[in-house]
Each structure stands twice: as structure tokens, then as C-alpha cells.
Chains A and B, each alone.
Chain A
Amino acid sequence: MHVYLPIAEMPVNALLVLLLSGAVGFLSGLLGVGGGFIMTPILLFMGVPPPVAVATELSQVTASSVSGAISYSRRRLIDLRMAALLTLGGLIGGYWGVQLIAVVRELGQADVLVSLVYVAFLTSIGGLMLWESTEALRRQALGLPPPRPKARPAGIVLPLQMRFPRSGLTLSILPPLAIGAGAGAIGAIMGVGGGFLLVPAMIYLLRMPANVVVGTSLIVVLITSSQLTVQQSAVNGSVDLVLAAMLITGGVIGAQFGVQAGHTLPPERLRTMLGAVVLATGLCLLVSLLLPPGERYALGGGL
């Protein structure tokens, strides 16, 4: 069943879009990511023009993450203080990411930057998560105690300490701000919400309890993607509401099933899955970029 998209100016198979966005939404609710890093390349592959793909996918990220976030907040599994700091950092980082890409676009190298950032971060983050979490699962299976977390470097006590009761942590506000800024900048370059960076950063760098990480990440992704959707629409006018409606429908339904599946799985298992999904996406992209292209030329702005 084909539906014509008014902004992209092309028809797409509605059923296919619904199924794919449902699957991505499932991963979103399950793993605390928006899913933009998977769905945006899929939309580009289907022939949707890049600005439309990026901007429209952001609205699906908003929908899936709010759908998941409400469910997590009902279970009180969201650290709002942490989310606020990460979001604040994210808005600052996102601003600079957009500036950077504008400069690089002037130089005609935006696609180079975007491709390299995609491959570098997806493969490295995905690989690290997969390796760590399978190691944790292996230790569990052998009955070994989990490795003792390395002590924080003593002597350096960062200023501006704050208590995070929901996570049971006392931390300086600087690391969450920096992590938010980093994820925001990279997310803006990739045109995604940045959840796949926030989740591992919260687990490994901030050492937040695994059960609050997913919900907290979803809140941050929700705010970032809302802001980016409006910004993209104002600057490029490139959100396609018809495509968005299909993506959102699939996304929110998938996300609900994802959240429910998430409660039945141990956190290490979830991290393995997220790591595998991120790594697989990165490797697919890497392979497609390593193969010499049949067509040396491409019409502007593609990934």
C-alpha cells in the first residue's frame, strides 16, 4: 500500500514503514534509545531525501521516548535531577554540534564528517557494550562475583557536588553536564537523539543503577528530539507529517511492547542486546562504505 509524502514528494510503502518503525520502537522501549541511529539510515536507503529523513525521524524518536518514559515514570524509575543536568548539557552540546556541521557543510565535507562519526561511534560503543556485558554474563554463569568497580580516582574531588537520591549517588554536576554535552554534539551531527551514547555513559561513567538508566535516558532523548524537530522544521521545513504519522504509530506501539519485554529481562542481557544492535548497525554502515561504489557520484546531501 503506497502513500504519497507531501514534503518528501515521493510515495512510500506504508506497511513497510509501519513494520520497521514498530521494530525500532520496540528496541526504543526495551533499551532506552530513540532508535534514530537505525531508522534514519533505513529511510535514506528507501530514497527519502536526507533532510526529510533526519527531521521526520526525530518526531518518531520523540513519540517512542515519551511512550516509554511515561511507563518508566509510573514505576518511578527515572532520575529527574540527572535527566535535567544531561539535558542542559545536551542543549549546549547540540547547539555547538549544529554550528560545527554548518561550518563543515560550507567546506563541502559534511557527509564525510557524518559518515565517519556514525561508523566510529556505533562500532566503538556497540563493541565495548557487547564485550562488557557478555563478560558479565559469563561471570554470572560461572558463579563468579561481579568484578569490583574500580575506585574513583582519589584526590580529585570535582566541585559542585550534588546528591541524586533516585540513583543513590553523590556526584559533581560537571560529569553529567559534560556527558550530556558530548552526546548532544554527536547526536546533532548524526541527526539523532543520542540515547545510544547516554545509556552506556550513565552505566559505565556515572555508574547509575541499571534500572533507572533506561527511563532517565528516554527523558533526555525526548527533550532533545522535541527541540531538534522544531529547529529542523523552522530552518529546513523538512518534517513530513504524513511520514511522521506512520513512523509515530509504529514507534509508540512498538515502544510499549519493548517496555514490557524490558521488565522480564536482566539488565546484563539488555546491555548485550543494545551493544549487539548498535555494533551491527555500525558494521553494516562500515561494510557499505568499505566496498568500492558502483556509482562514483551521488546526488547531494546523502549519508
Chain B
Amino acid sequence: MRRAASASAIFALFAMLAAALFAAPAIAQSSDGFVAAVTEDQIAVSSTFSGARIFVFGATPSRRADDVVVVVRGPGGPVTVMRREPVFGLWVNSDPVKFEAAPGFFAVMTAKPLSQIASRKAIWELGLDPAGAARLTGATPADADPGAYRAALVRLKRAQNLYQENPRGLTRLPGGLYRSPVALPANAPPGEYRVEVYLFRNRKLVGTETSTIQIKRIGVERMIHDFADRFPVLYGITAVLVALGAGWLASVTLGRRT
């Protein structure tokens, strides 16, 4: 069953590659034969959305020393991390530290540990690990270590499946092909996602391909979100009217029995 699935995936991959090489501009290709593509460019979020899986795939010039790093970044925003402190013996959230921009989703997929592919400097500069991708701007409490907050942010997001680092998340196939499945969990924030594919050769960056995918709300989900966004007061009044109407309906239909 699994074999069949992966065989068909490989077939699809070849087919798409073949088609893409002739027609689709969505596939990025640099001159030396490094290509990258994504199976989806749009993911619809409806009321039954329970996450999605995308495949990032492509080919590299066939050389032994080539390493591919796939990074998927979701829409970022400010995040507050708090530390639990005992107050009157109760452990309550305190000492907030604000990260001005942390990715809402971050996945880095490689075929072997990242440290064997790129230098620490490159990892930091390209933001290949989530700790580097989260920018800390606010002041930290006097006694606190900013690094501990950064590590906590990554740990907490990882626990929600929103930050993923997988050193076995990328498969090399014969002929210089590669393929990497990325699971987008249901709590992944809608918006524009950047897919970045880096080619390293002997720990040196030799190629970069990027593309974007959209996670979009559709149908009722979209209507409600846009309504709340554009007319917040009217939306609040609607919520109250729905509540009042439902309460009234229940009391006239169920309440007259006694």
C-alpha cells in the first residue's frame, strides 16, 4: 500500500516535472539544472479543514556533494512569551518578552542534520532554523536570558506542530531528484507561505529557489472572517442578536412544557 503510494507519487513527480519543464512558469529553474516545485499553490480552508500535506520536489545537478534544504515559512507576526513565576505560591504567567516577528509556521526539511550541510553562520543568516527566524526586539527582564525565551518559543511552537525540523524529511531519488513532504497542521495560520529551497555544495550555498503557496479561507469561513475584519462593531452586534434569538427560540420551543 505504502509502496504503491510512493510509486505513484514518484510518477506524479516525473509527470509534473516533465510538464513543468515545457510549460509551467511556477517551477523555478536556475541555469545549472537546479529546479524546485511545490505540488500545491493554493490550499483551501473550509469548515472541515484538518490540515494539508504538500510535496516540495525537484532536481539538482547530479553530484554526490549536493545537499538540499527545504524551508517553508508561514505568515509571521508579534508573539509574546511569558515565564511562569510563583506569586503567593501560585505559578502564574509573568515577565512577558515580545518577539516582534516570529514565523507563524516554520518547517526545515533535510536529508541529514543541518549542521552537516551548512555552517552556523549560513544557518543564522538564511534563517534555516526557527530560533534564528524569530526576531527578538523587546527588552528582556533583568535576570532573564534572551536565549532561554527564544528556546522556549521554539519549544512551545514545536509542541503545537507549528515548528518542524526534520533531518530525515527529504528523500533523494535516483537521477538527482529530491522530494520532501511537509505536513501543514490544521492550526497553521492562513496566509502566504514561502517555500525556499537551498542547494549547498561542500557547505557552500550555490543555489536558491523560492515560490509561494496560499492558504486561503473559503466559503463560510471566509465570509465570517472578512465580516469580523471589516465591520467589527456590526459583527459584535450580530453575535449578540444571534445569541438573543437562539435564547428566545429555545425558551419558546422548550420552555412552555411546564
A contact set with B: CB distance below 8 Å:
2-4, 6-7, 9-11, 47, 59-60, 62-71, 74, 108-109, 111-112, 115-116, 119, 226, 229-235, 237, 239, 241-242, 244-245, 248-249, 252-253, 255-257, 259-260, 263, 286, 289-293, 295-302
Contacts and interface: CB of A to CB of B under 8 A. Distances in A.
B93 A62 contact: no
Contacts of A233: 228, 232-233, 235-236, 239
Contact of A259 (B46, B91, B217, B255): B255
A64 B248 CA distance: 9
A191 B233 CA distance: 18
B94 A239 contact: no
A8 to B, nearest CB: 9
Interface string B218-257: 0011101100110011011111101110111111101101
Contact of A253 (B87, B92, B149, B250): B250
Contacts of A62: 240, 243-244, 247
Per DSSP, chain B at the interface is helix
A257 to B, nearest CB: 8
A102 to B, nearest CB: 15
B91 A299 contact: no
A234 B92 contact: no
Interface residues of B, number: 63
B84 A297 contact: yes
B186 A4 contact: yes
Contact of A241 (B95, B237, B242): B242
A48 B240 CA distance: 20
B126 interface: no
B166 interface: no
A242 B47 contact: yes
A137 B238 CA distance: 44
Given A66-B248, A70-B248, A237-B235, A298 B242 contact: no
B257 A6 contact: no
B242 A6 contact: no
Interface stretch (B2-10, B26-34, B74-82): B74-82
Interface of B: 45-50, 79-84, 87-96, 148-149, 152-153, 155-157, 186-187, 189-190, 217, 220-222, 224-225, 228-229, 232-233, 235-240, 242-244, 246-252, 254-255, 257-258
Given A11-B50, A60-B243, 15 more contacts: A6-B220, A59-B239, A59-B242, A59-B243, A64-B247, A67-B250, A112-B92, A237-B228, A248-B242, A290-B90, A295-B84, A297-B152, A298-B83, A300-B80, A300-B81
Given A230-B236, A234-B232, A249-B246, A4 B92 contact: no
A113 to B, nearest CB: 9
Contacts of B82: 108, 111, 297-300, 302
B81 A290 contact: no
A248 B243 contact: yes
Contacts of A263: 258
12 contacts: A6-B222, A11-B50, A74-B255, A108-B96, A111-B92, A230-B233, A237-B235, A242-B47, A248-B243, A298-B93, A299-B153, A301-B80
A119 B91 CA distance: 12
A44 to B, nearest CB: 12
Interface centre among B186, B187, B221, B247, by most chain A C-beta atoms within 10 angstroms, is B247
A297 B91 contact: no
